[in-house]
Amino acid sequence: MYAQLVETGLNQVQSLADMGEEERAFQARIDAGVKIEAKDWMPDAYRKTLIRQISQHAHSEIVGQLPEGNWVTRAPTLKRKSILLAKIQDEAGHGLYLYSAAETLGVSRDDLIAALNAGKAKYSSIFNYPTLSWADMGAVGWLVDGSAIINQIPLCRCSYGPYARAMIRVCKEESFHARQGYDIMLSLCNGTPEQKAMAQDALNRWWWPSLMMFGPSDAESVNSAQSAQWRIKLFSNDELRQRMVDQTVPQAEFLGLTVPDPDLKFNAATGHYEFGAIDWSEFHNVLKGNGPCNKERLKTRVKAWDDGAWFREALVAYADKKAARAAA
């Protein structure tokens, strides 16, 4: 992957000859597969890249609770409601591990959340789409968590120890999430014609945004080459997107659903599915804040933060009192 990315010339990485002694030693440890830990020396740019990616990832997990939160009160059975609630709580947990992983790099969680609430921080484009029917709970679990797993399994082997270790548990839980989503799709597809139509409609709306989750094409990805050199990224955006298509199309066929891409075809020679062009203008528009739900998502997060102020203050007051008592 790294060689291919460098060939694009888009994102020049520093050659060993241009590095100082400390940086060369750092790169040698990365190349040898040694994990970098919080107290180890690291280049500022490595630290910044990790803070950027891990905090965006944490924000995604937190904002990602909202589309599914929309259906908790309307889940069709008690069992489905319990499963959905457990899944959403897992996503909150992922956000907390990830904020903790980011904090090991010297940033504060409050500052990261302030950037999110001010609309300055990115989170995954996918969470700016609305969940219009119960079938969307199936499609989100199947396609969105499914894509998240494909992207995140390699992160369990990334060079930064605290991030890699956090991802192990996250991936195990994401795998349960994807299974529950597929199970919802399976029930709907084995149900009435109306239920199957709901499942098809959800697939139609979530397919392309799910492919966009993997980020811009390799030719457009500004961060990939450097992140590959540092072994933060082990596979490119396009490689992982292809993996998602190859894995998911047979699953759609098993459900009896049609992937909404007239150009989709299996290439027996390569063993991969070829798929149609992604509408990158939609992706960039969502990133600019103009997706269907960007404003609503941010407003909900800001309100949650403001409403929780009394609780955070109470925790600090309690901790201060306890510390004062211990010191007396």
Chain residues in the site for ligand FAQ (CB under 6 A) = 52-53, 56-57, 60-61, 64, 91, 122, 124-125, 140, 144-145, 148, 151, 212-216, 221-224, 227, 233, 237, 287
- How many CB atoms are closer than 10 A to CB 306? 10
- Element at 274 (helix H, strand E): strand 272-274
87: closest CA among 100, 68, 101, 71?
68
Phi-psi bin for 256: left (phi > 0), alpha (psi -120 to 50), beta?
Answer: left
Which residue type does 328 have? Answer: A
Is the CB of 175 or the CB of 195 nearer to ligand FAQ?
175
Question: How many residues are there in the chain?
Answer: 328
CB-nearer residue toward ligand FAQ: 136 or 145: 145
Closest to ligand FAQ by CB, 52 or 243: 52
Residues 6+ apart with CB under 8 A from 20: none
Show the tokens assigned to 141.
């679990």
Give strand pairing partners of 272: 267
Least distance to ligand FAQ, CB of residue 230, Å: 11
Is the Cβ of residue 196 or residue 199 nearer to ligand FAQ in the bound state?
A: 199
d(CA 226, CA 13): 5
Query: With respect to ligand FAQ, which residue has the nearer C-beta, 213 or 293?
Result: 213
Point out the residue whose Cβ comes nearest to ligand FAQ.
Answer: 64
Taking the CA atoms of 46, 52, 53 and 54 in sequence, report the sign of the dihedral they define. positive
Q: CB of 50: closest distance to ligand FAQ in angstroms? A: 10
Q: Based on C-alpha coordinates, what's the Rg of the chain?
A: 21
In the complex with ligand FAQ, the residue whose CB is nearer, 93 or 191, is: 93
CB 4 within 8 A of CB 218: yes
d(CA 253, CA 76): 25
Q: Is the Cβ–Cβ distance between 230 and 29 less than 8 Å?
A: no
Nearer to ligand FAQ, 151 or 248 (CB): 151
Query: Is the Cβ of residue 144 or residue 255 nearer to ligand FAQ in the bound state?
Result: 144
Burial environment of residue 186 by CB neighbours within 10 A (0 to 12, 13 to 18, 19 or more): middle
